[in-house]
Structure 1
């Protein structure tokens, strides 16, 4: 079906437009015209008073709706995430699995491969956060499964994944260069996280070739005036950097600082989990956050749209820019995909929401969900 979305505030990823119609045909953005110039053959949807923007993209989420893929990976957990996220306006996500036993890593890889044939279209692949982390910055990751990367092992994982492993969070300072070079050669996004790197170490690997940094401030050395550490190096070299904008994992003034320093390289993730009482990741919901049973802060209870809202209402970022942080910038990190913009020839993945940040509807490849 060819659809024309009219009478909405249109956020394209590059500009805000009023009194324009967004034309969708064959799953793609076909044109943007005046409301009065919609061609014949298009079904018109009047969205007066609503906002239309590129569908949101979450590159780090562990689970949803009581199914924790990140700890107990299976196809059902991926289906739950995909369905739930589409109802929230998130039209792209990387299913994330945390540090775990080799057997669980294999299960995550196998589930990712199997689900590819069943996916509705917003599932982007697998993100492994660990196990190649630094024990000093383990956070909620179990120490007994954290290890240094081995080239033979990571080769076996990548080969088993058959292209489904899209991103890895590692502590680069403890890895051999051949592991990093191999991941980079396979076009896997390498993100520095759960790292205790010094400032000097980080200058040596950020953008060389580590393209990204995972959940800024969390599981990193705090900024110190005599030992600057990883965060100032990120501010200096500006890799694509994710942040959990819930005011709990990171305070809003520190997000404001990060935005000032990183500009269009700062993007939003949820790092969201769900309640679980099995496996090694038993997340307990306290009413505003998730913790491990011992009280260690774990994943968030954010949605991507709530993260956008927080950036606008709590940090003072414009709505246009907050939406870019939730879609355009993570899409840029993905490379080679026509996502994150409402631009001719791009996938018609769209979120519609009101001025109170309540989700109205989602279009995936031009189809109303």
Structure 2
């Protein structure tokens, strides 16, 4: 249940600028305004913080699991709720539970669960990310090769129908398994199409951008790399004219120098934003779990199949923000935008998410000066306090 309140006692980052000695006014789960000074209107409950900063809640577009649960293993509303609750203590206030390549039957179960989660207004649930099964075998990563297949008319229709049941539907596809015409029809139906797990070249990626693809999934990972005569999908992603690009900022999936090069090169339309690619381990002390019947081990900050293949990430969003700010050295404001505003923009939700502006959802994270999470609100309701 939402409350009418004002938050004072911390610096406020609204997504673009800082406000000092100001109050964030929230009514019925929505930001009403930021008021200069610490005097607040009568009748409002005052939440007085002891320093630190408040910022827009984080938006994570690739979350395979959390709280001991993988969406693939339990495609249900209960699992979606558990995943959302597991990520909230790390500042994530809106996320896309992500289904890794699976059977048509299990995919349909996940879509039905997403539709039900939308109806039940599960806190933090933004929609679904269907990562596969229409990928490239050459760049399969941890996806089960037995389940990877071309997109059919039935698959295309199911995606369009699924989009009507939830605020956001994102699908990762490879040009090897999907025709450009299908991408155009999906985009026209407001399905967000991302290129990933593909060995396609630069020209093909650009052709799919013209068809309607607007995103690249986990930049640098499971895609063709930059070469001297063939820039690959990585080159198309950072060329600046076509794609938003998700980045797993754990220092394992992408070398810090590669991150820095991409950030310097990426200009114009589309931004690089942070994703966790998190698995069931987040919020737990689990040492292993299974995906499509295969064991994944948690060791030294990474998750790997028994053959050493990376399988998602052992990463939460505030850790990614800290890594970008403290290790990569980007400004704190930009690290916060990479975790909130840019992913919201990438899926067309920046009018409501990624900002603390008039009319935006009161999705708020309270951070200490050393970037630990002290409190989290989703649509005005406090869901975590440290």
The answer to whether residue 252 in structure 2 is matched with residue 248 in structure 1 is: yes
Distance 1:171 1:94, change over 3 A: same
Change (3 A) 1:366 1:289: same
Cα deviation digits, residues 325-350 of structure 1 (max 9, x gap): 00001111221551110001111110
* TM-score, normalising length: structure 1: 0.95
Q: CA deviation at 1:296?
A: 1.0
Q: 2:193 aligns with which of 190, 194, 202?
A: 190
Task: State the SS of the aligned residue for 1:325.
Answer: helix
Contact 2:81 2:123 in 1 (8 A): no
Whole-Å separation in 2 of the counterparts to 1:328 and 1:207: 24
1:70 shift after superposition: 3.4
Where 1:147 maps in the other structure, the secondary structure is coil
Q: How does 1:92-171 map to 2 (within 5 A)?
A: 92-159=94-161, 162-164=164-166, 166-171=169-174
Q: Which range is displaced more, 286-295 or 125-134?
A: 286-295
CA contact (8 A) 2:98 2:130 kept: yes
Alignment match, 1:319? 332
In structure 2, how many angstroms separate the alpha carbons of the residues matched to 1:327 and 1:278? Answer: 28
CA contact (8 A) 1:72 1:104 kept: no
> Cα gap change, 1:22/1:161 in structure 2, threshold over 3 Å: closer, same or farther?
closer
Q: Are 1:349 and 2:363 matched, yes or no?
A: yes
- Indicate the SS of the match to 2:223: coil
1:265 to 249, 268, 271: 271
The gaps in structure 2 that reach 5 residues or longer are 281-287
Closer, same or farther: CA 169–281 of 1 in aligned 2, 3 Å = farther
The 3 A distance-change label for structure 1 pair 320 and 359 is same
What displacement does 1:351 show?
Answer: 0.4
Partner of 1:307: 320
Per the TM alignment, residue 207 of structure 1 is displaced from its structure 2 partner at its CA by: 4.8
8 Å CA contact 1:7–1:35 kept in 2: the answer is no
CA contact (8 A) 1:67 1:276 kept: no
Pairwise CA distance, 1:173: 4.5
Alignment of 1:1-369 (within 5 A): 1-159=3-161, 162-164=164-166, 166-236=169-239, 237-263=241-267, 265-274=271-280, 275-277=288-290, 279-336=292-349, 337-369=351-383
The count of aligned residue pairs is: 369
* Per-residue Cα deviation, 1:229-284 (whole angstroms, up to 9, x for no partner): 11112222241110000000111111111111225611000000124236335322
Distance 1:252 1:89 in 2: 23
**Alignment TM-score, normalising by the size of structure 2:** 0.91
Q: CA deviation at 1:314?
A: 0.7
Provide the alpha-carbon RMSD of the alignment.
1.8
